[in-house]
Copies of this chain bind each other. A is one copy, B any other.
Amino acid sequence: MGEQHAVVGIDIGGTNTVFGFVDRDGNILGEDSLSTTQYVEPEVFVAALYEKIMVTKAKRCPEVEILGFGIGAPMGNINKGTIEYPADLPWKGIIPLAALFNRYTSLPVVVTNDANAAAVGEMIYGGAKGMKNFVVITLGTGLGSGFVVDGKLVYGHDGFAGEIGHTVIRPGDSNRDCGCGRKGCLETYVSASGIKRTMLKILADKLDPSELRKVSFDELDSRKIYDAAKKGDKLALRAFERTGAMLGFKLADVVAHTNPEAIFLFGGLALAKELIFEPAREHMEKNLLSIYQGKVKLLPSELSAQNAAVLGASSLIWSNREM
């Protein structure tokens, strides 16, 4: 047996940053995390993160040779190795993430947004193995998207392809503020925070009883809506139905752009399975041009939720190497 190689996959989230050492087959040889929010300066954050990675490596897999660092982060820009104006992170402006890493290492450092990382992960380790044209939609706090065309991730001219969370769903007809400064973006409806807002709206509009009437906005989350729906709560069911319908409507648009073989849903909301897939599938089909109907698969991600982000991030490096 020769020397063992691994890539460091890093997922920078609004709350925590998780990293792991991933081998060529997608096994995680060791992982750990640190709080993102406690670092006011990105320089200090990267120093602490690099330190923690090295300490963890020494403890969990000292024999492994690291080949590079793959980083998924909101508004990550592959061309420049930067994070630009992230709405959900503690840092402002343009953060030269790869350059900060390169203070400590000369290994390759690749930065892209989390949904792009998830798409490459799905292609290398998940349900998109062998597929050439597909889309991954991540349903977390926001809605991210990653497009694969002809076997390659679409980055676009400025490195920012795949932000369909910020396409507007009801032009001139939505009061829902988006973190990006506009109104009515898809992610204000279709995401963990979006379904929560929709739930509140339904509780306001309807008179039916619901166990969620006892829950405050701050206490409410998509998990509680899911639990209520599973128990047959009519209004919680309606919240899923509406959310799925809006997603399905927009997926028909996605198909008309790049005509994928499949669309994978990933992240918290996707775990609600048929509660979200059924209305999404129905409304996607209903809105598809006839040449596309019945052809596009809507599937759950096959990456396990626990380590998908780290796998996806690591795959940014693996996908650049001969597999």
Contact = CB atoms under 8 A, between A and B. Distances in A.
Interface string A64-88: 0000000000010000000011000
A155 B150 CA distance: 9
Interface stretch (A100-108, A212-220, A247-255): A247-255
A227 B254 CA distance: 37
B260 A156 contact: yes
Contact of A150 (B152, B160, B257): B152
Contact of A149 (B149, B180, B254): B149
Contact of A254 (B252, B257, B261, B291): B257
A75 B291 CA distance: 9
A3 interface: no
Interface residues of A, number: 48
Contact of A158 (B134, B171, B259): B259
B289 A166 contact: yes
A162 interface: yes
A258 B161 contact: yes
B164 A259 contact: no
A257 B162 contact: yes
A62 B264 CA distance: 54
Nearest to A297: B157
A168 B167 CA distance: 13
Nearest to A166: B289
Contacts of A295: 157-158
A159 interface: yes
Given A287-B168, A291-B160, A253 B256 contact: no
28 contacts: A133-B157, A134-B157, A149-B149, A149-B150, A149-B154, A154-B258, A157-B259, A157-B260, A157-B261, A158-B261, A158-B291, A158-B292, A158-B295, A160-B291, A162-B257, A162-B258, A163-B259, A167-B252, A167-B253, A168-B249, A169-B171, A170-B171, A180-B290, A181-B290, A182-B287, A182-B289, A253-B253, A258-B258
